[in-house]
């Protein structure tokens, strides 16, 4: 590789949003190392990493440092973080299979979406203007709506994580007891539950539409 090309590649690695991405990885590693021994500290670190997820996008647009590497780094960090949290919840609750299925859906949906994006020649997996589903368009087309669904899902998982104890391992029991708690907690839980449910529906829709795009690419290539 020529020195100039090497310098350009290095500059992309050192983009501010990408440095934030590296920082998020370190925070998550520390957080999950403490997840079974310091629950409150884990929740704080996890949420701080989640907050930084919004910062890197802002910096990317502010300083015109949008990059394919940064987009992939951001998605991989998000997916791995959520996957690890779901894996922890599968150990704290029964049936743990619920969280493992959610983990599988999350990874499969985003992998299909990312791969179909590159097959179609798009530069961003959030470009769904050519899709027919209104909910998918609303999710990626309206940042506040997407933020609500994402934040609600993560908050719900953290609430379940903080409420887990050795005596209560049933997901249903914890959900029912939380709803019966103080109005503020029950309202917060209900709102996050709505956002979480919408995001899971979107994950299924995204997986199906992305799979259709892959099949369309195959049929077009075979002609």
- Catalytically annotated residues: 78
Short-list 222, 9, 212, 213, CA closest to 121? 213
Q: Reduced to 3 states, what is the DSSP secondary structure of residue 67?
A: coil
Q: Which residues contact 66 (CB under 8 A, 6 or more apart)?
A: 60
**CA distances from residue 210 to 84, 163, 216 in whole angstroms, order as listed:** 24, 36, 10
Cβ distance 195 to 152 under 8 Å? yes
Q: How far apart are CA 161 and CA 46, in angstroms?
A: 12
Burial class (CB in 10 A: 0-12, 13-18, 19+), 4: exposed
Q: How far apart are CA 28 and CA 31, in angstroms?
A: 5
SS3 content of the chain, % helix, strand, coil (to 5): 80, 0, 20
Give the count of alpha carbons within 13 A of 66, CB side only: 7
Question: Which DSSP state fits 129?
Answer: T
Compute how many other C-beta atoms are within 10 angstroms of the C-beta atom of residue 89. 21
């Amino acid at each position: 590789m020529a020195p100039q090309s090497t310098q350009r590649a290095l500059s992309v690695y050192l983009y501010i949003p990408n440095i934030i991405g590296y920082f998020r990885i370190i925070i998550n590693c520390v957080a999950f190392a403490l997840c079974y021994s310091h629950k409150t500290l884990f929740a704080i670190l996890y949420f701080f990493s989640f907050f930084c997820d919004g910062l890197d996008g802002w910096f990317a647009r502010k300083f015109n440092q949008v990059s394919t590497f940064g987009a992939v780094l951001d998605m991989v960090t998000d997916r791995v973080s959520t996957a690890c949290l779901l894996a922890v919840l599968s150990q704290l609750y029964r049936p743990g299979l619920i969280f493992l299925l959610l983990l599988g859906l999350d990874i499969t949906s985003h992998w299909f979406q990312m791969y179909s994006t590159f097959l179609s020649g798009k530069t961003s997996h959030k470009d769904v203007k050519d899709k027919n589903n209104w909910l998918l368009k609303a999710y990626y087309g309206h940042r506040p709506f997407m933020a609500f669904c994402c934040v609600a899902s993560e908050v719900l998982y953290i609430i379940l994580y903080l409420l887990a104890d050795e005596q209560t391992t049933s997901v249903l029991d914890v959900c029912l007891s939380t709803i019966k708690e103080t109005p503020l907690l029950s309202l917060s839980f209900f709102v996050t539950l709505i956002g979480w449910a919408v995001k899971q529906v979107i994950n299924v829709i995204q997986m199906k539409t992305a799979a259709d795009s892959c099949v369309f690419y195959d049929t077009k290539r075979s002609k």
